Structure formats: structure tokens, C-alpha cells
Amino acid sequence: MKRLFYLLLCICCILQSLNAQSVKEVTFSGGAPLDTYIPSITVPVLTEAFKRNGIEFKALHLPSLRSLESTNAGILDGELHRVSNFHEVSRGKYPNLIKIDSDLVHVWVVAFSTKSIKINSWKDLKDYYVSYYRGRKNITAALQNVVPQKQIFRVNNDKKAFELLSAGRIDIVVTERNQGHKILSTYPNFSNISEVGQLQQSIIFAYINKKYKDLALKIATSIEEMKRDGTFKRLLEKMSNNSK
């Protein structure tokens, strides 16, 4: 019986390896609309990295928690953008996700307000009503031990958070700096809002379902090659020019 068990285990491993090697297409999702700052970087970089491995890459936007559940269950293949310490801040809730270990973008999480205040740390938020885009595990983890739950308002997108702030219903919006300033420049009715402090730098990676464990290393290697050969920089410059 023991010999049969190990034989079946070996067959399963071989089949899983063959499946990963023969993959022709993957679909990743993320909690931010694809035209926002972070996906506008991660999608073209991942598209090129998978192309170099003969795989077609597709991206879509889902609500953050639905995206995670779908990827963890293997319904979708990967996450477009999650923080480097994702498993820590999500308390190990999504064990089937493996980091593609080459960083894609560094961003600052900052505070915006209509008040003349200065925020220097997460602890400075304890007396304020705070809103953020639900599903951002790093922000959830940072706020939960500092700000009382009754003072936290989770919303479905950054624009909604800024609407609450502009209307005086909350005191602070916490979000990624570039995306926050893009919203402020797009909507003149938010002219009473400004950045009032930076809270944390986040390093963003893509994650892939563990059924593609071997592929994760290949894609990370391709991204590193792109950084060396100048492709990564060119894609960032193209994104920057398109956003002007």
C-alpha cells in the first residue's frame, strides 16, 4: 500500500508539472480598475514577462476580496498587485497564492484631508474618521490596532472615499499617492482636499496560484531580465507618457 501511495504521489507531481509547462494562457485579476496607477504598470510588465515564456496574459478587474477568493480557489490564475508582506497582513487566509518574486512598483500610502493637519504616522489617525478602499489588506492591518472600528469607513473605490471627505462626513482618506492625486486633478469639486502626510511605503508584487509554482520562478526571472535589458524602464516611461 505504501509503495502504491508513493507511486500515485509521483504521478500527481508529474501531471502537475506537465500542466504548468503546457499552459498557454493565464488570467490575473486585481481590486483596482485597470486604468489606475498600479495596474497601468503591472499589466504591461506581466504581459511582456509571460509573452517571453510563450504564454498569453490577460487581466481583469474584480472587487478586491472576490479577486483574492477566485485566485486562491484556482478559478483565476493570479493577482495583479499585492504588497510584499501580503500573507502576513492577510493572516495566511490565502495559502494558495505564491509571490512572483520580482518587485513591480514601489508606492507610498498617504493621507488626504480637508483639514489643516499634519499626519506623520498611523498613530496620528486615532482621533479621526478614516475612509479607504476595501480589500487593501495592508491598510486594514495598519488601521485595526490604531483607529476604533466605528471611525473606519470602507468603500468600494477611492472616488467614493474622496466624496465622503469633500462632503465633511469623514476626516481622512488613506490611499496610494499617485492614484489619490490623479483623482484630485480629475475632479475639480475635490479642490478642498490636499495630501497631509505619508504613512508607509509599499512594495508591490504579483502573486500566482500555487498550481503554477514552477512558472512563478520563470516569470520572476523574465522580469529581472526586463530590468537588465531596459524593457522594464521603457514600459514605465510609456505608461508615464500616456498618463500626461
Which set of grid coordinates corresponds to residue 128? 479621526
Would you state the pLDDT for residue 167?
A: 96
pLDDT digits (tens, 9 = 90+) for 10-48: 444 444 444 545 889 999 999 989 988 899 999 999 999
Question: With respect to CATH, is domain 108-201 assigned 3.40.50.300?
Answer: no
* Alpha carbon distances (Å) from 98 to 118, 144, 191: 37, 25, 41
Residue 100 pLDDT > 50: yes
Residue 172 pLDDT > 70: yes
Q: Which neighbouring-strand residues pair with 79? A: 29, 207
Q: Which CATH superfamily is domain 2-106+204-242 in?
A: Periplasmic binding protein-like II (3.40.190.10)
Please report, for the chain, the start and end positions of each structural domain, with discontinuous segments joined by +: 2-106+204-242, 108-201
Q: Report the relative pairing of strands 152-155 and 97-113 from DSSP bridges.
A: unpaired
Asked if 193 contacts 184 with a C-beta cutoff of 8 angstroms, the reply is yes
2-106+204-242 shares its CATH topology with 108-201: yes
- Distance, in Å, from the CA atom of 244 to the CA atom of 241, rounded to the nearest integer, reads 5
Give every CB contact of residue 234 below 8 A, 6+ residues apart in sequence: none
pLDDT band at 4 (very low <50, low <70, confident <90, very high): very low
Asked if 239 contacts 40 with a C-beta cutoff of 8 angstroms, the reply is yes
